[in-house]
């Protein structure tokens, strides 16, 4: 078995004395793992940092095997933002969340492209905070937990939306909420087209975080949401 693809490094874990298990989010083969022999070397290790873009060949005797990678660096993203802790936290969080949530070996070409675009925006430093918020919304959708914020779940109208149902993930208007308002999540304006701001992004990530922790994580065997995401949220709060 052999194929060639391009993708984002999500993680690299030590394997034996000199090798690593490299996890990539590839364009046409989805989230995929394989061994990189000599991956801990000074030559290869810098290539295998989360967020970097690689051209990769995967080989295995059988499709079901772990297989091995031969890789070439296409774009180094992590190295360009080492001096910016906030953007580095965002890049690390995106890679960690993709590793945590996405099924293995399932092609997701549209979401993979969106993830590459997010990583590029983080490195370029333009509009990435809002992009990250909507990327988490898309992550919930591709994993089966779409938030429907287009209309009120009670009335069907699209006016005065103010809450999100923690049970269904649907928007609720002020009038539709009634006496149940205290039991609902507040709907940040940024999620329904409001002006972007760090405060709005923090509020939005607290909403998506609720569904990540209470809906997605239980579906994955109650594995904890990666700490990298909490570090990003803390870093954003420190900027408010």
The C-alpha angle 7, 8, 14, rounded to 5 degrees, equals 115
Per-residue model confidence as pLDDT tens digits over 71-115: 999 999 999 899 999 999 999 999 999 999 999 999 999 999 999
Section 22-41 average pLDDT: 97
User: What is the mean predicted confidence (pLDDT) over 227-239?
Assistant: 96
Q: How confident is the model at residue 232 (pLDDT cuts 50, 70, 90)?
A: very high
Q: Tens of pLDDT along 182-210?
A: 999 999 999 999 999 999 999 999 999 99
**pLDDT of amino acid 63:** 86
User: How many CB atoms neighbour CB 183 within 10 A?
Assistant: 11
Residues 6 or more apart from 55 whose CB is under 8 A from it?
Answer: 4, 6, 71, 72, 73, 74
Reported as a single tens digit per residue, the pLDDT across 46-72 is 999 999 999 999 999 998 899 999 999
């Amino acid at each position: 078995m052999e194929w060639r693809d391009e993708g984002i490094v999500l993680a690299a874990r030590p394997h034996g004395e000199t090798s690593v298990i490299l996890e990539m989010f590839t364009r046409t083969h989805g989230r995929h793992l394989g061994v990189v022999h000599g991956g801990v070397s000074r030559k290869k290790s810098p290539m295998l940092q989360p967020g970097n873009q690689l051209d990769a060949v995967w080989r295995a005797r059988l499709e079901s095997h772990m297989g091995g990678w031969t890789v070439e660096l296409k774009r180094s993203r992590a190295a360009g933002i080492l001096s910016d802790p906030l953007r580095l936290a965002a890049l690390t969080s995106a890679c960690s969340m993709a590793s945590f949530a996405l099924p293995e070996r399932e092609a997701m070409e549209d979401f993979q492209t969106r993830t590459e675009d997010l990583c590029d925006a983080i490195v370029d430093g333009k509009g990435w905070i809002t992009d990250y918020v909507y990327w988490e919304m898309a992550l919930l959708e591709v994993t089966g937990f779409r938030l429907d914020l287009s209309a009120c779940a009670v009335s069907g109208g699209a006016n005065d939306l103010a809450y999100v149902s923690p049970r269904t993930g649907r928007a609720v208007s002020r009038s539709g909420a009634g006496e149940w308002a205290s039991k609902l999540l507040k709907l940040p304006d940024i999620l329904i087209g409001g002006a972007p701001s760090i405060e709005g992004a923090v509020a939005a990530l607290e909403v998506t975080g609720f569904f990540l922790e209470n809906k997605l994580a239980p579906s994955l065997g109650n594995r904890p949401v990666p700490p990298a995401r909490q570090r990003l949220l803390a870093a954003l709060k420190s900027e408010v």
